[in-house]
Amino acid sequence: MAEMLRERRGQSTVEWIGLVFMLVAVMAGMFAAGVKVPGTALIHSVSTGLLCAASLSGGCAGEGSLESTYGEELAELVRSGTPTLMYGPDMLGLPVDYRTCRSPWCADGPGEGEVTRSTAGEPVTLFTRVLKRGSATYIQYWAYYPESASLRGAPVLEEQGFHPHDWESMQVRIDADGSISQRASSHAGYNHGRSVANWGSDAGWSIVTDATEAAGLREKGGWGEATGTYLIAGGSHAGNVDDDVDEENYPGYTPAGLVRLVPLESIKDGPLSRPARFDPITAPWEKEVWTDPEAEGTG
């Protein structure tokens, strides 16, 4: 009897997942075709909730997921280091959960004001990673976007600056003396403040980067004083953590306390992550900085 119940439960799970995928595919197709569907956000929210419920990974992370992954002390540290997200004026797509949204239609945001969800109902999400190296603790906050458009609006070159998928990050370093530093990924390197002195790092030219850092024109490795903010450029999603913040430069924002946090270590090998392909982008767990938090390249 027990064996029969297990077989039926397994069959139901397969059918359930198939039904959810069909619902998501139909909704995505209708939206892409320009069909206006009442309650799109509600339908998307329900379908993704069902998908997470059917997942063998135990859901898409929620209350207590940080504690179960890191323990109470580190979980509190991760929450306290969460930045307020500030979005540039041409920011279209929001950072979302790649397991339930990997298309621009479900990641689009309103473009201004306080933002907690996309227009399709996807919560603004950062994936977290905690490392200890020597006496320092590092917290990485990873943002996934369904697409990147570095040269949006540029004649002829716009298509060359586009690629599907994008992974960016904001990182925090806590030293033994309690001092806290921040940096953010920007193209091929990491930056603190917004400056023309970052172009060597952005291009991945270590010789130029070393020279500007030696001259005191930029922070070493992109690490600088913690600001509690993560400033994100529209289009490319290149980031920094220090700049003049006003409504003209950053019309949209997500308060730190309203950012959904998902521990990436606990879900990267789960059933909703294993099929994920991010070509031509490298997944966070395949990047050098995943194991070496002081790495200066983003590949």
Q: How far apart are CA 299 and CA 295, in angstroms?
A: 10
Is residue 271 domain-resident? yes
Model pLDDT, residue 274: 79
**Averaged over 108-115, what is the pLDDT?**
92
Is residue 15 domain-resident? no
Model pLDDT, residue 276: 83
Is residue 205 domain-resident? yes
The larger pLDDT score, comparing residue 160 to residue 168, is at 168
What Cα–Cα distance (Å) separates residue 26 from each residue in 21, 29, 40, 41, 52?
Answer: 9, 5, 12, 14, 18
Q: Is the pLDDT of residue 286 over 60?
A: yes
Model pLDDT, residue 22: 58
Least confident of 53-57, 153-157, 210-214, 217-221: 153-157
Model pLDDT, residue 50: 55
Is residue 298 domain-resident? no
Please state the domain count of the chain. Answer: 1
Model pLDDT, residue 59: 57
Is residue 229 domain-resident? yes
Among 290, 177, 180, CA closest to 224? 180
Give this prediction's pTM.
Answer: 0.82
Q: Which domain holds residue 174?
A: 66-290
Q: Is the pLDDT of residue 39 over 60?
A: no
Q: Is the pLDDT of residue 18 over 50?
A: yes
Q: How confident is the model at residue 64 (pLDDT cuts 50, 70, 90)?
A: confident
